[in-house]
Structure 1
Amino acid sequence: MTIPSLFVAHGSPMLALEDHDYARFLQGLGQHFKIPKAIVVFSAHWDTPTQSMTIDDSHATMYDFYGFPEELYELTYPAQGDSDLNKRIDELFKKHNLNYIPAQGRGLDHGVWVILQKLYPEANIPVIELSVDSTRSPKEQYNIGAMLTELRKEDVLIIGSGGLVHNLRTLSEGAQTDEWAVEFDHWIAEELEEWDLKSLFDYRQKAPFADQAVPPYGLEHFIPLFYAMGAADDERKAKRLFQDYQYGNLSLNCWMFGS
């Protein structure tokens, strides 16, 4: 059975400490498929104009946030790298004429380790982080993900980590979920289930409340969706595994693509 690719919302860094429905869902998510031999994550928190890839034998834990409880800064996720997988990705990128920059000593940002410490808390599966590029078109982002489709047949889990509705300027402490966020997520869900790439690539014009859900200053959180989708281009099947909200409109969702 081919391992799927995933889009995983990483929410707030506090997810690492929280105990709620979404946190518990992530803790059990790995049971949906066999244990991967390695994990590749396209993270919203590494937005670069040229594709980049970590090449370290071991990873430091990055605390790329501020103003949170001290307990959060004491967490670590000491995952190893995978030089063989680095070489394999290098082959696939070169096969499709994609230039990339190897990054040494960067560490894993919270878009990676916050979700992985829920999914695989023992940190015993090798991890490689890949950057996203918010200046590329959705089609280009999708195509980069598609370059890695073969890895899923080699038991590599590919994750896009971000947030479909991620507008920090509109968050609130109220318990009620904003209807505009729900409508945007509903539209995205319909198009994903139909695998309607034409509409999805033009989401900015076609999706309701797109400018609120995906503001220009938060674009990098939405686009990991396209990388994760592209990695399942050979199957083109989408299934929503979880949906909830925090702070009025911060979307906590998980999509599975492929088997």
Structure 2
Amino acid sequence: MTLPSLFVAHGSPMLALEDNGYTRFLENLGRELPVPEAIAVFSAHWDEPDQLLSVDETNGTMHDFYGFPDAMYELRYPAPGSPSLVGRMKALFEAGNLPYQTVSGRGLDHGVWVILQKMYPEANIPVVELSVDSKRSPSEQYAIGAMLKELRRENVLIIGSGGLVHNLRMLAQTDTPDPWAVEFDEWVAEKLESWKIGDLFDYDKKAPHARQAVPSYGVEHFIPLFYAMGAADDDRQAKRLFQDYQLGNLSLNCWMFGS
């Protein structure tokens, strides 16, 4: 069985407690997809120059945010790790001449567990978290994802967790989407659906409102898209499964890559 790869927006950590159209979509998505043997997540909240992989026997839960309700800090997502998946990733990274390091004791950050506790609430599927590197070029990020494409045929679900429009300084108390955010998302959508990776790699120069949508201090939220796309490099298909907005321009979207 070959699973798709996914780009999933993780929005605000409050998604963990919310019941809305997006959280219900994520719950349904977990039920509709074939049950994976393991899940690998490239998270925007682990931005490091080296490629890192989590190797805990049981994953801890990071509460890497502040100022939220007490209930947020009581949530746990104790999914097991996967030594066998880590071993496969090591071999694939070595074949691609990509240096890597393993990390234990960190736990899953909210870019991982907030979406997974909606998709797979029983926390019984092994999870390995991977770092991203916002200093790399989009083509390099895509290439790292492509190193893992074989895993999709081994019933591993590969997810890039971030946000296509994620500029916390421009959020507003409104339910009406900002036109500039919608225009940026639609530009990305057209390029994804036609797999125009050259344009996407140059999004910062070609996309409308790129500076607002992907500010220099928030690039790490956009780039998980390239890791997820790369994982479907042998099956270049893209389908948008969900699109909505919170707080004017916080884009909540999910893209599926591959058939």
The two structures share one fold, judged by TM-score above 0.5 = yes
Q: Which runs of 5+ in 2 are unaligned?
A: none
1:31 deviation in Å? 3.3
Match of 2:160 in 1: 160
What's the CA shift for 1:165? 0.1
- Verify: 1:106 aligned to 2:106, yes or no: yes
CA positional deviation for 1:242 = 0.1
Separation (CA, whole Å) in 2 of partners of 1:20 and 1:34: 24
Distance 2:68 2:233 in 1: 38
Q: Supply the AA of the counterpart residue of 2:10.
A: H
- 1:101 Cα deviation after fit: 1.2
**How far off is 1:2 after superposition?**
1.0
Cα pair 2:31 2:119 within 8 Å, conserved: no
RMSD of equivalent CA atoms: 0.6
Could you give the per-residue CA deviations for residues 7-47 of structure 1, whole angstroms, max 9, x where no partner exists? 00000000000000000000000233210000000000000
Q: Structure 1 CA distance, aligned partners of 2:139 and 2:216? A: 18
After TM superposition, list the pairs within 5 Å mapping 1:83-122 onto structure 2. Answer: 83-122=83-122
Deviations 1:109-130 (A, max 9, x none): 0000000000000000000000
Aligned match of 1:76: 76
Counterparts of 1:178 and 1:211, CA distance in 2: 14
Partner residue in 2 for 1:23: 23
Which deviates further from its counterpart, 181-190 or 52-61? 52-61
Q: Distance in 2 between matches of 1:146 and 1:82?
A: 20
Q: CA deviation at 1:174?
A: 1.4
Separation in 1, partners of 2:33, 2:171: 34
For 1:73-222, what aligned pairs fall within 5 Å after superposition? 73-222=73-222
For 1:244, the equivalent position in structure 2 comes to 244
Matched, 1:35 2:15: no
Distance 2:31 2:57 in 1: 27
Give the residue type in structure 2 aligned to 1:190: E
For 1:172, the aligned partner's letter is A
State the 1:188 CA deviation: 0.1
**Pairing 1:65–2:45 present:** no
The Cα of 1:175 is off from its aligned counterpart by: 2.0
Aligned residue identity for 2:96: H
- 1:12 aligned residue: 12
2:28 pairs with 1:3: no
- Larger deviation: 31-40 or 41-50? 31-40
The answer as to whether partners of 2:59 and 2:107 remain within 8 angstroms in 1 is yes
SS in structure 2 at match of 1:182: helix
Q: Which residue of 1 aligns with 2:53?
A: 53
In structure 1, list runs of 5 or more residues that go unmatched: none
How far apart, in 2, do the equivalents of 1:142 and 1:107 lie? Answer: 25
Shift in Å, 1:176? 1.6
CA deviation vs aligned residue, 1:101-159 (integer Å, no higher than 9, x gap): 11011100000000000000000000000000000000000000000000000000000
3-state SS in 1 of match to 2:154: coil
Separation in 2, partners of 1:57, 1:245: 36
Distance 1:204 1:61 in 2: 33
